[in-house]
């Protein structure tokens, strides 16, 4: 028997109230640290071309898959600390952890790198937990107690894959094998009792990230996992306009070959990029964050109207 809309919305009401409270705590966290909340377009003539993200189009415009490019244009214009909640859209993403329309929290700050942005993330999660009354820095997700006290364990992609899958994706990048082994071998190897920060990705897997000066095979990218949820993705941001254009053109060519689609170059972003200061940024999935703090097993349980209900 199909659940009625009234019953479904009544069932999720407590989660939606908690969601609103989480938004309040996030805004308070950034206000205390002198970040400016911004808004950027949902519709744009060009977005970052990424091989593994299929965007929605509306006529000649694209629905935002991320606010990243516009936020970096703000940094290039002199904004130093910014954050926003953005509606984002990605075609073909639907499941227990995915909805084609979702909310992304992104923040960027000048003078930071990915290590400092991850420290921001640790403090944000602790702050939200405290505001929600989580005791002893220990939240429970799907029956598992998780100690969220920082610092969270860091592990490099190289070490994680060598240990769990027996190969080094930095030395020999293979995106299909990477994805399969990550889901089946690497992710299950992370401690369920603690968040894990996976750092230092193969260079081809971070198209907007800076490469490590000491090792150009590695990008300064980090991902945060808590309770089996991929929660956030951080970069030391690439500021080299020529290198960024080269990466974009390579991605556009791959998309043309693999999907038969033409993607425009985001020219306005590339024009602003030479003025971008050294900075770090992160994209955090708000719906999954709410899942964590509501102990919800599905993204549908923390949204009023997921795809089929809309």
Q: Is 38 domain-assigned?
A: yes
User: What pLDDT shows up at residue 2?
Assistant: 64
Would you state the structure tokens that stand for residue 117, as one six-digit string? Answer: 């942005």
Q: Is 86 domain-assigned?
A: yes
CA within 13 Å, CB half, 15: 25
Q: Is 227 domain-assigned?
A: no
pLDDT tens track, the chain, 310 positions: 467 899 999 999 999 999 999 999 999 999 999 999 999 999 999 999 998 899 999 999 999 999 999 999 999 999 999 999 999 999 988 999 999 999 999 999 999 999 999 999 999 999 999 999 999 899 999 999 999 999 999 999 999 999 999 999 999 889 899 999 999 999 999 999 999 999 999 999 999 999 999 999 999 999 999 999 999 999 999 999 999 999 999 999 999 999 998 999 999 999 999 999 999 999 999 999 999 999 999 999 999 999 998 8
Q: Is 262 domain-assigned?
A: yes
Query: In 3D, which of 111, 105, 49 has the Cα closest to residue 276?
Result: 111
Q: Is 193 domain-assigned?
A: no
Q: How far is CA 150 from CA 126, 144, 250, 282, in A?
A: 8, 18, 38, 18
The helix/strand/coil state of 262 is coil
Residues 6 or more apart in contact with residue 21 via CB below 8 angstroms: 131, 132
Tell me the CATH number at 19. Answer: 3.30.930.10
Q: Is 169 domain-assigned?
A: no
The helix/strand/coil state of 294 is helix
User: Taking the complete model, does pTM exceed 0.85, yes or no?
Assistant: yes
| Total structural domains within the chain | 1
Q: Is 226 domain-assigned?
A: no
Residue 295 to residue 201: CA distance in whole angstroms: 30
Q: How far is CA 97 from CA 93, 231, 283, 286, in A?
A: 9, 10, 16, 11
Q: Is 243 domain-assigned?
A: yes
| Structural domain for 82, as ranges | 5-149+239-309
User: What pLDDT shows up at residue 1?
Assistant: 47
């Amino acid at each position: 028997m199909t659940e009625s809309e009234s019953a479904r919305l009544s069932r999720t009401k407590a989660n939606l109230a908690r969601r609103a409270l989480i938004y309040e705590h996030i805004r308070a966290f950034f206000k205390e640290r002198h970040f400016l909340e911004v808004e950027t377009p949902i519709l744009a003539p060009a977005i970052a071309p990424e091989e593994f993200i299929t965007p929605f189009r509306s006529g000649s415009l694209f629905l935002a898959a991320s606010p990243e490019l516009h936020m970096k244009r703000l940094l290039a214009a002199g904004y130093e600390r910014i954050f926003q909640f953005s509606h984002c859209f990605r075609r073909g993403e639907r499941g227990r952890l995915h909805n084609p329309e979702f909310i992304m929290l992104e923040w960027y700050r000048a003078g930071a790198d990915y290590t400092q942005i991850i420290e921001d993330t640790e403090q944000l999660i602790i702050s939200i937990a405290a505001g929600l009354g989580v005791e002893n820095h220990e939240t429970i997700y799907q029956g598992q107690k998780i100690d969220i006290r920082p610092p969270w364990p860091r592990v490099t992609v190289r070490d994680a894959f060598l240990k769990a899958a027996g190969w080094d994706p930095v030395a020999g990048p293979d995106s299909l094998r990477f994805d399969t082994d990550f889901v089946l071998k690497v992710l299950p190897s992370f401690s369920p009792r603690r968040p894990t920060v996976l750092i230092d990705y193969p260079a081809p897997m971070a198209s907007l990230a800076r490469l490590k000066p000491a090792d150009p095979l590695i990008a300064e990218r980090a991902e945060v996992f808590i309770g089996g949820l991929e929660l956030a993705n951080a970069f030391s941001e690439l500021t080299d306009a020529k290198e960024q254009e080269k990466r974009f053109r390579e991605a556009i060519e791959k998309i043309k070959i693999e999907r038969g689609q033409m993607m425009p170059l985001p020219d306005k972003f590339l024009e602003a990029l030479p003025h971008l200061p050294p900075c770090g940024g992160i994209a955090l999935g708000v719906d999954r964050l709410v899942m964590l703090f509501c102990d919800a097993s599905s993204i549908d349980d923390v949204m009023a109207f997921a795809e089929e209900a809309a």
